[in-house]
Amino acid sequence: MTHYEDIKKQIRELFINQKLAVLSTHNSGQPYASLVAFLGKKDLKEIFFVTPRTTRKFANLSADSRVAILINSSMNLDSDFHEAVAVTALGNAKEINGAEKEDVLSLYLRKHPYLEAFATSPTCALVGITITTYVTVKNFQQVMELHIDQ
């Protein structure tokens, strides 16, 4: 297995095993981080989350679509320094509507069934991030990049 295939496998495992990620947006140069329940596509090209349209994160990404989202396997243990994997995905976010929204929301709710009332609320937006780059860190400081072709 090539090291790129190994990176892809680690990212897919995080997509399956982790429910939460940290989304980073910004406004006028001021960073802002938010915890989101996410869904990642198997082809690694997109990550999705749901948020009310009245949130700071939605206002920030509406003003500038560039975002970063961090997914990691840490459990707040000493062993995390040698065993945890963290992935930062860089990309551009936009609200998803129409038939695509129905398809993605169905997959999202399979992963997060307890969020159905929230995710289907008319005040919430389904947001998709088109990923350009993944930066993975494991063994505390082993860093690798994976660029995604769209």
Residue 150: the pLDDT is: 62
Q: Are 129 and 91 in contact (CB under 8 A)?
A: yes
Domain count, the chain: 1
Residue 3: the pLDDT is: 76
Residue 64 is part of which domain span?
Answer: 3-147
CA dist 111 and 115 (Å) reads 9
Residue 139 has pLDDT above 80, yes or no: no
pTM comes to 0.93
How confident is residue 53, by pLDDT bands cut at 50, 70 and 90? very high
Distance of CA 108 to the CA centre of its chain: 12
Distance of CA 73 to the CA centre of its chain: 13
Q: Are 60 and 25 in contact (CB under 8 A)?
A: yes
Identify the CATH number of the domain in which residue 68 sits: 2.30.110.10
Phi then psi dihedrals of residue 67, to 5 deg: -140, 165
